[in-house]
């Protein structure tokens, strides 16, 4: 029988993130599992070639991460009050980071939202959730916005 000891909850701090957290929380409570809440801050390294000094980019990313860590602490406190929960903020490409953290932390399940993009938006921006679902060794629960 499948055991869930560790759940990765990937969030983007949108208005929809508390609903994703609710699903992760419910699963963790039922299974007695730990929750790792993950936010992936955008990596701005691809902009280094645009005549912006790398130190300015690093400084800006540092500010984003600091702000995200404060937001993460409040989010965990508000949404995972009675659970064993760890908040993590990393920078990079979301799908890659979610898959890497899930593997490194030996997560038994991933819970994440989808943006429900369709048509040209989906073609242009792709789907982080789709990439994670296709590549994850662990089961993935995706939660669509209403």
Amino acid 43: pLDDT:
73
Tokens of 122: 């989906």
Contact 113/12 with Cβ under 8 angstroms? yes
Q: How high is the mean pLDDT of the chain? A: 86
Residue-wise pLDDT tens digits, 61-119: 666 777 889 999 999 999 998 999 999 999 999 999 999 999 999 999 999 998 766 66
Stated pTM of the model: 0.85
* Rounded (10°) angle between helices 17-31 and 54-79: 60
Q: Which domains are assigned to the chain?
A: 6-143 (3.40.50.620)
Q: Is 117 buried (19+), middle (13-18) or exposed (0-12) by CB count in 10 A? A: middle
User: Rounded distance, CA 8 to CA 77, Å?
Assistant: 16
């Amino acid at each position: 029988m499948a055991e869930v000891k560790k759940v990765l909850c990937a969030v983007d701090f949108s208005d929809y993130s508390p609903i994703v957290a609710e699903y992760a929380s419910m699963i963790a409570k039922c299974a007695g599992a730990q929750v790792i809440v993950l936010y992936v801050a955008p990596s701005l390294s691809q902009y280094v070639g645009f005549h912006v000094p790398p130190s300015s980019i690093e400084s800006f990313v540092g500010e984003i991460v600091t702000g995200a860590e404060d937001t993460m602490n409040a989010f965990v406190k508000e949404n995972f009050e009675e659970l064993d929960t760890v908040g993590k903020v990393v920078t990079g490409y979301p799908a890659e980071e979610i898959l890497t953290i899930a593997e490194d932390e030996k997560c038994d399940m991933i819970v994440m939202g989808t943006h429900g993009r369709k048509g040209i938006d989906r073609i242009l921006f792709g789907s982080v959730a789709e990439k994670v679902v296709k590549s994850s060794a662990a089961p993935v629960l995706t939660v669509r916005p209403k």
